[in-house]
Amino acid sequence: MTIYNFSAGPAVLPKAVLQQAQAEMLDWHGSGMSVMEMSHRGKEYMGIQAQAEADLRELMSIPSSYKVLFLQGGATQQFAMIPLNLLRGKLSADYVNTGEWSKKAIGEAKKFCNVNVAANNADRNCTYVPAFDSWKLDKDAAYVHYTPNETIGGVEFGWVPDTGDMPLVADMSSNILSRSVDVRKFGLIYAGAQKNIGPAGLTIVIVRDDLVGHSDPRLPTMLDYKTHAENDSMYNTPPTYGIYMAGLIFQWLKKSGGIGAMERTNITKANLLYGAIDSSNGFYVCPVNRADRSRMNVPFTLKDAALDGDFLKQAEARGLLQLKGHRSVGGMRASIYNAMPLAGVQTLVNFMSEFSRSKG
């Protein structure tokens, strides 16, 4: 039986990448060492990290005027690092609230500055993206922060806000590398690795050069982007194995046709799953506004919550794992990141159809 892991993160990784990592586990390219054993200052590992950065730059067309940082602490640590580095003497920042991860970023930023919530979708239980013409931006804000994809609520922006000269900051933890984006529209992009990049423990920050180096001199050394930019992400020992795995993912993406090809596949997968939900005559319901549905995280409920346990039990027996929704929203959630094959989504859709017929 084939197992399909629909976990929101840590999430499924490409089988080919896991097999390559397995083959190289004890001896990386004849070095006699596992990557986990290598000195981060040795030529072998430094080559691995340099190649990973080069491949990411190629995949996302990252301009030379942006730094790529490989950091630790998760995307959650960036909730504090961003205001600490990007306020640049200003007293406020704009934030857009579209769900649980936006709320966490807002809560952390409030410790360091005045937060203007420029747009908020709480009036409809965080199930839509507020139209840009409704945003109330503060002209004196240091930057605008938003979450392009809300992992828990399944709300995703299908567009990039145009904030003019004000730096746009995006938490792309759950949709980075899944769709084409113009990096030049952003001041800073950050993403935890454990969804589309690799194992947990690595965080990637892509930051425009002119936004680096303006932090308060009292800022702890490890929280200053300048520290990591000036030391090629090696001020201290970086998460070496996580970076190695990310590099394998980047190579897999390139072999798969790049981000454009992956985006087309993601659209097909999402359409297949949402189609099954919408054609179920109300047996399954997705609460998210249709135009704002995530391609990565698909939440849905059953017509009778009493069926949830049976649904999960039967799904697991079919090899369909981690479908239980987040505790804050309940129901089900299928995360269909880049590494989830189309066959996995088709298997889920077939099961959903059989289950609704048997219980409807």
Q: Which residues are catalytic?
A: 101, 171, 195
Asked if residues 129 and 98 have their Cβ atoms less than 8 Å apart, the reply is: yes
Give the number of other CB atoms < 10 A from CB of residue 342: 13
Residue 172 to residue 184: CA distance in whole angstroms: 15
10 preceded by cis ω (within 30°)? yes
Helix ranges, 188-297 (H): 225-230, 240-255, 258-278
Q: Per-residue b/e over 159-191, b at no fewer than 16 CB within 10 Å?
A: eebebeebbbbbbbbbbbbbbebeeeebbbbbb
What does 276-326 look like in DSSP terms, one character per residue?
HHHTSTTSEE--S-GGGB-SSEEEEEESSGGGHHHHHHHHHHTTEE--BPP
**CB contact at 8 A, 349 and 272:** yes
Nearest Cα residue to 113 out of 92, 141, 84, 88: 92
Residue 149 backbone phi and psi in degrees, to 5: -140, 120
| Angle at 285 (CA atoms; ends 280, 291), nearest 5 degrees | 105
Determine the number of helices (DSSP H) and then strands (DSSP E) in the chain. Answer: 9, 14
Reduce the DSSP state of residue 213 to 3 states and report it: coil
Q: Tokens representing 85?
A: 């580095």
> How many angstroms separate the Cα of 10 from the Cα of each of 194, 196, 212?
5, 9, 30
